[in-house]
Amino acid sequence: MASQPRRQQLKANAMSERLTRHDRLFFVLAGAGSAVLAVALFLGLQWRWEVEMNDKSLLLVIAVSTFTIFYRFPLLLSARRTLYMARRAIGRWINLMVIVLMAYFLVPSMNASVPREMMELWALLTLPVLLLALIVMRKSALGLYASASEVRKAIFLLPGDEANLLGMRLRRSPVLGIEVAGYYGEPPSANPDRIVTAIDIPPPLPRLGDLNDALKAISTNTYHVVFVGMRVLQQEKEREVAQALGNSTASIYLVPEARLFGYFTMASTDIAGVPLLALHENHILGLSRLLKRTVDLVLSAIALTMLAPIMLMIALGIRFTSPGPVFFRQARYGLNGEAIQIFKFRSMHTKQTVEESTMVKQAVMGDPRVTKLGRFLRKSSLDELPQLFNVLMGDMSLVGPRPHAAAHNEMYRSLITGYMLRHTVKPGITGWAQVNGLRGETETLDKMRRRIEYDHHYIQNWSLNLDIRIMFMTLRTLFWDKAAY
């Protein structure tokens, strides 16, 4: 058995492998800056509001929140445009406010010792300070990379189509300081695929030659960065390419073929120190899952309490306007494709309820099966309110991919690649697809594909800020969405 120091060393090595050089630098800077700001702010609070010095809960919240702001500066700074960077920063600020406010109201000692005026002032000052720091650092970085000595020259060992696509994205991120000289590889095809033509590409990169020319260019150490396609390493000259790259002074990046992966979103990761390429990864795990579940519990409980009178009126309306039960239950797929029972207010005549049928048949505009009251409930999404109980029970979340009828699932999973990946998270009452106009009937397969693409985007880009944004967008679309009937 390995000794305790040996185990600690192995653990430290694994952690070190997961952090890049830039991550480690910003990790140290963020920690130091957070400690200084936390102590300074704490002393200021003690002087201005006479906060007790032994209130460790407040000091912890301040330190963690400032660390959260500064740690991921590289991701914010690498945004293509300043406006986009600002939007991402505002999203981070919203996440921070939610965490701090929850701590403020849930930690008794903090709530009792910290004046509300101080919390309001701190919340208002955090965002402008964050934006100002980002803008200053971004302009400084752009100015630094504008000098010839800091610009890194790059080449692509890629086919023309993929080289032009990657080159376009690098041109849109000048803060990276990479200047693309051209590519070595096959010329662009006459009819490039949809992935490459999906974006309006600027003037194409110059073709510098074939693979033999690339080997000669790499050996001269003229270029600082080399992007190598996976296809290049699968050719006959694989050993020569690897040897040339190993003898160069360039930074080397392996580029997968995007056209092979369809709906998958690729991201680099590692498991036990082995570098991997994640094609699909669920980010709602650990603390993120706990945070999302906490928000679900708190907001669903509040919503049920506030909406109880409305739900009672709807239940009475259904009871007195059409024969049959007030609620109906339906089997749908939940997390990991497991069957769950969801609740809704009944909106159709009992003998013709589409949800109770085994046929794959969706409601259409003017559907005679829908009751008069049910038409209003479906239009306003009030028929979904009982699903708040599903959220409390843990079967659903407030935000997530909308669950489809089990019969629909079985049909579409055989028609759309990656369909079941939407079940790597809990289904939601509302979702990213629904607030972007993909709500209601999906009469064509292409519409369902678009809905699935939005579901995948949500899973790959989840954040608490995105959930909050979707909730507000849902409120806006409740009475103005013509797709619901």
Task: Note whether 138 and 167 are same-domain residues.
Answer: no
**What mean pLDDT is reported for the chain?**
74
Instruction: Report which listed range, 46-55, 252-261, 446-455, is most confident.
Output: 446-455
Looking at this protein, which amino acid is placed at residue 370? V
Q: Closest Cα partner for 449 from 194, 258, 168, 189? A: 194
Share of the chain above pLDDT 90, in %: 13
Highest mean pLDDT among 147-161, 220-234, 383-397, 444-458: 383-397
Q: How confident is the model at residue 197, as a pLDDT?
A: 40
Q: Is residue 210 part of a domain?
A: yes
Give a yes or no: residue 178 inside a domain.
yes
| Claim to verify: residue 460 and residue 318 sit in the same structural domain | yes
Please indicate, yes or no, whether residues 101 and 216 belong to a single structural domain of this protein: no
Q: Which of 16-25, 340-349, 416-425 has the lowest mean pLDDT?
A: 16-25
Closest residue by Cα to residue 343 from 382, 386, 285: 386
Residue 447's pLDDT is 84
Verify that 302 and 364 share a domain, yes or no.
Answer: yes
Residues 346 and 228 grouped into a single domain: no
pLDDT tens for each residue of 294-310: 999 999 999 999 999 99
- Phi then psi for residue 91, to 5 deg, are -60, -40
Count CB neighbours of 461 within 10 A. Answer: 11
- Say whether pLDDT at 53 is over 50: no
Residue 460 within any structural domain of the chain: yes
**CB–CB of 157/228 below 8 Å?**
yes
Same domain, 455 and 306: yes
With cut-offs at 50, 70 and 90, classify the pLDDT of residue 293: very high
> Contact at 8 Å (CB) between 35 and 55?
no
* Range of lowest pLDDT (70-74, 101-105, 309-313, 444-448): 70-74
What is the gyration radius of the CA atoms in the chain, in angstroms? 27
Q: Please list, residue by residue across 229-247, b when 16 or more beta carbons sit within 10 angstroms of its beta carbon and e when fewer do.
A: bebbeeeeeeeebeebbee
153 conformational bin, left if phi > 0, alpha if psi -120 to 50, beta if neither: beta
Residue 41 belongs to a domain: yes
**CA-to-CA distance for 116 and 93, rounded, in angstroms?**
19
3-state SS string over the chain? Answer: CCCHHHHHHHHHHHHHHHCCHHHHHHHHHHHHHHHHHHHHHHHHHHHHCCCCCCCHHHHHHHHHHHHHHHHCHHHHHCCCCHHHHHHHHHHHHHHHHHHHHHHHHHCHHHHHHCCHHHHHHHHHHHHHHHHHHHHHHHHHHHHHHHCCCCCEEEEEECCHHHHHHHHHHHHCCHHHCEEEEEEECCCCCCCCCHHHHCCCCCCCCCEEECHHHHHHHHHCCCCCEEEEECCHHHCCCHHHHHHHHHCCCCEEEEECCHHHCCCCCCEEEEECCEEEEECCCCCCCCHHHHHHHHHHHHHHHHHHHHHHHHHHHHHHHHHHHCCCCCEEEEEEECHHHCEEEEEEECCECHHHCHHHCCCCCCCCCCCCCECHHHHHHHHHCHHHCCHHHHHHHCCCEEECCCCCEHHHHHHHCCCCCCHHHHHHCCCEEECCCHHHCCCCCCCCHHHHHHHHHHHHHHHHCCCHHHHHHHHHHHHHHCCCCCCCC
**pLDDT, tens digit (0-9, with 9 covering 90-100), for 179-220:** 888 999 888 776 554 444 444 446 788 899 888 888 888 888
Pairing of strands 251-255, 267-271: unpaired
Last residue of a domain, one of 244, 260, 276: 260
Residue that wins the pLDDT comparison between 429 and 482: 429
pLDDT (0 to 100) of residue 141: 64
- Tell me, yes or no, whether 293 and 239 share the same domain: no
Residue 270 lies in a domain: no
Q: Is residue 52 part of a domain?
A: yes
Task: Output 333 or 274, whichever has higher pLDDT.
Answer: 333
Strands 327-333 vs 274-278: parallel, antiparallel or unpaired: unpaired
Could you tell me if residue 277 is inside a domain? no
My answer on whether 134 and 187 are in the same domain is: no
Residues in the chain: 485
Phi and psi for 225 in degrees, rounded to 5? -135, 135
Which of the two residues, 249 and 292, has the higher pLDDT score?
A: 292
Whether 482 shows a pLDDT value over 90: the answer reads: no
Same domain, 252 and 325: no
Question: Residues 344-368: pLDDT tens digits?
Answer: 888 777 764 444 444 545 555 556 6
Clarify whether residues 187 and 314 are in a common domain: no
Task: Identify whether residues 345 and 248 lie together within a single domain.
Answer: no
Residue 389 — very low, low, confident or very high, per pLDDT cuts 50/70/90? very high
- The total of other beta-carbon atoms located within 10 Å of residue 379's CB is 19
- For residue 234, the domain's CATH number is 3.40.50
Q: Which domain holds residue 66?
A: 10-146
Instruction: Kindly indicate the confidence band of residue 431, based on its pLDDT and cuts at 50, 70 and 90.
Output: very high
Last residue of a domain, one of 123, 146, 169: 146
Mean pLDDT of 371-383: 80
51 and 109 both lie in a single domain: yes
Query: Which of 113, 146, 179 marks a domain boundary?
Result: 146
Whether the pLDDT of residue 11 is over 50: the answer is: no
Domain count across the chain:
3
171: its two tokens: 């041109």
Is residue 292 included in any domain, yes or no?
Answer: yes
What local confidence, expressed as pLDDT, does residue 479 receive?
Answer: 57
- Percentage of residues in the chain having pLDDT higher than 70: 63
Listed residue (167, 161, 189, 171) closest to 258, CA to CA: 161
Contact by Cβ (8 Å): 184, 161: no
